[in-house]
């Protein structure tokens, strides 16, 4: 069933004016050997034209990535290799997939709830988003993107196992839905399933070479596999694909800092991420971590920590607040030693 022109324009308008930014709880353990990795997220929705298309056609033309509020305690003892001047992008062989049965296109009422759910995620109202996506699913149980959307809302509440079930259902309904594979890859990273994350990310990349979620997950997995050269290729590709997505710069900045020990390059990337998304507490926390780790600019570090705490009040982000307070103590101790 095709939507009428008014429905399509409503969807397109929402995509045009809303670049939903969900950069979530990010926390780094202050240690040279162990890293508490917390992914940030950005759901970027590109504007699309008002045409007589179905909602699936509109959605498939949009570029979407969600890097979840995941936490994985991971060993990071990667050597610092020389970075080649040019490394080819890894080649992925496309796996043939049978044509899936068309996913049912929702009625106008479902479209309204669908947009409300994404708007709720943009306001960081993840519980409300989950409930509204549930309404979409109840109205249109065969609408794969409804399941994918609820999976995102669950993932942003750190309900990774539940999110996995929704991504599984979305993929069952629409086996070529790249976004669902990318999101499931992120959930697997959160659950410390690097092998599964790699499989899903490769599949997402097969279906859509511009899947930023796939690029980021493959970069993260390559870093875990101690292949820093390949990791950098993937992180660079993510930035080249969507330079307006703050999360792409954040991921590469963390890679520069934690794997390559390239402080200046990391600072440049963190600065760019903050310019693109200045209201995200997690970014200030990570930049402060860089200053503190390098034992430079203590006042700038303190200002970043204060900003991170301020931005973590509504919605409440207790992990960021707690970590910022821990780092404040380190700054205070160093200041006392100098005096």
**pLDDT (0 to 100) of residue 69:** 35
**274 in a structural domain:** no
**228 in a structural domain:** yes
User: Do 98 and 221 lie in a common domain?
Assistant: yes
User: Do 324 and 190 lie in a common domain?
Assistant: no
User: Do 251 and 325 lie in a common domain?
Assistant: no
User: Do 294 and 240 lie in a common domain?
Assistant: no
User: Do 237 and 332 lie in a common domain?
Assistant: no
**273 in a structural domain:** no
- Looking at 268, 299, 325, the residue that finishes a domain is 268
> Residue 250 sits in a domain of what CATH number?
1.25.40.10
**101 in a structural domain:** yes
- Per-residue CA distances from 315 to 13, 106, 123, 156, 321 (Å): 26, 31, 9, 12, 12
- For 173-201, letters b (16+ CB in 10 Å) and e give bbbbbbbbbbbbbbbbbbbebbebbbbbb
Does the pTM surpass 0.75? The reply is no
Distance CA 258, CA 251 (A): 10
Q: 109 is in which domain, residue-wise?
A: 5-77+86-268
**pLDDT (0 to 100) of residue 12:** 35
**222 in a structural domain:** yes
**pLDDT (0 to 100) of residue 106:** 56
User: Do 25 and 64 lie in a common domain?
Assistant: yes
Helices vs. strands in the chain: H and E counts, helices first: 15, 2
User: Do 226 and 284 lie in a common domain?
Assistant: no
Contact 131, 149 (CB under 8 A): no
**127 in a structural domain:** yes
**pLDDT (0 to 100) of residue 108:** 79
CB count in 10 Å sphere of residue 256 = 22
What is the number of domains present in the chain?
Answer: 2
User: Do 186 and 283 lie in a common domain?
Assistant: no
User: Do 104 and 211 lie in a common domain?
Assistant: yes
Tell me the pLDDT of the chain (339 aa) as tens digits.
Answer: 333 434 433 433 333 332 223 223 323 333 333 333 333 433 332 222 232 334 444 343 333 333 333 323 322 222 333 333 334 444 443 344 444 454 455 567 889 999 999 999 988 788 999 999 999 999 999 999 999 999 999 998 889 999 999 999 999 999 999 999 999 999 999 999 999 999 999 999 999 999 999 999 999 999 999 999 999 999 999 999 999 999 999 999 999 999 999 999 999 999 999 999 998 899 999 999 999 999 999 999 999 999 999 999 877 788 899 999 999 999 999 999 987
Contact 290, 266 (CB under 8 A): yes
User: Do 253 and 288 lie in a common domain?
Assistant: no
Calculated CA dihedral for residues 208, 142, 54, 94, nearest 10 degrees: 20
Distance CA 165, CA 53 (A): 29
User: Do 27 and 100 lie in a common domain?
Assistant: yes
**pLDDT (0 to 100) of residue 317:** 82
Q: Which residues is 72 bridged to in the sheet?
A: 37
**pLDDT (0 to 100) of residue 3:** 34
**pLDDT (0 to 100) of residue 105:** 53
**191 in a structural domain:** yes
**pLDDT (0 to 100) of residue 122:** 86
**pLDDT (0 to 100) of residue 93:** 37
User: Do 297 and 186 lie in a common domain?
Assistant: no
């Amino acid at each position: 069933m095709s939507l009428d022109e008014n429905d399509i324009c409503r969807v397109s308008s929402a995509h045009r004016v809303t670049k939903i930014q969900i950069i979530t709880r990010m926390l780094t353990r202050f240690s040279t050997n162990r890293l508490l990795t917390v992914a940030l997220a950005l759901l970027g929705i590109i504007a699309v034209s008002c045409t007589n298309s179905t909602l699936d056609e509109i959605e498939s033309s949009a570029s979407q990535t969600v890097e979840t509020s995941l936490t994985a305690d991971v060993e990071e003892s990667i050597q610092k290799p020389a970075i080649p001047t040019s490394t080819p992008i890894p080649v992925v062989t496309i796996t043939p997939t049978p044509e899936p049965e068309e996913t049912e296109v929702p009625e106008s009422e479902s479209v309204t709830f669908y947009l409300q759910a994404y708007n709720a995620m943009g306001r960081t109202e993840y519980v409300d988003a989950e409930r509204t996506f549930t309404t979409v699913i109840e109205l249109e149980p065969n609408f794969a993107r409804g399941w994918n959307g609820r999976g995102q809302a669950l993932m942003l509440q750190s309900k990774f196992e539940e999110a996995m079930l929704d991504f599984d259902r979305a993929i069952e309904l629409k086996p070529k839905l790249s976004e669902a594979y990318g999101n499931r890859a992120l959930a697997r990273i959160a659950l410390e399933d690097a092998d599964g994350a790699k499989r899903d990310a490769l599949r997402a990349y097969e279906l859509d070479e511009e899947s930023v979620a796939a690029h980021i997950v493959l970069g993260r997995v390559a870093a875990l596999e101690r292949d820093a050269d390949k990791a950098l290729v993937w992180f660079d590709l993510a930035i080249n694909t969507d330079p307006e997505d703050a999360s792409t710069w954040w991921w590469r900045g963390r890679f520069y800092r934690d794997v390559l020990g390239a402080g200046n390059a990391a600072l440049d990337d963190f600065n760019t991420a903050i310019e693109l998304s200045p209201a995200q507490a997690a970014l200030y926390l990570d930049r402060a971590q860089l200053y503190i780790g390098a034992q430079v600019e203590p006042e700038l570090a303190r200002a970043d920590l204060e900003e991170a705490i301020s931005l973590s009040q509504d919605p409440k982000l207790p992990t960021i607040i707690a970590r910022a307070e821990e780092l404040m103590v380190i700054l205070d101790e160093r200041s006392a030693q100098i005096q």
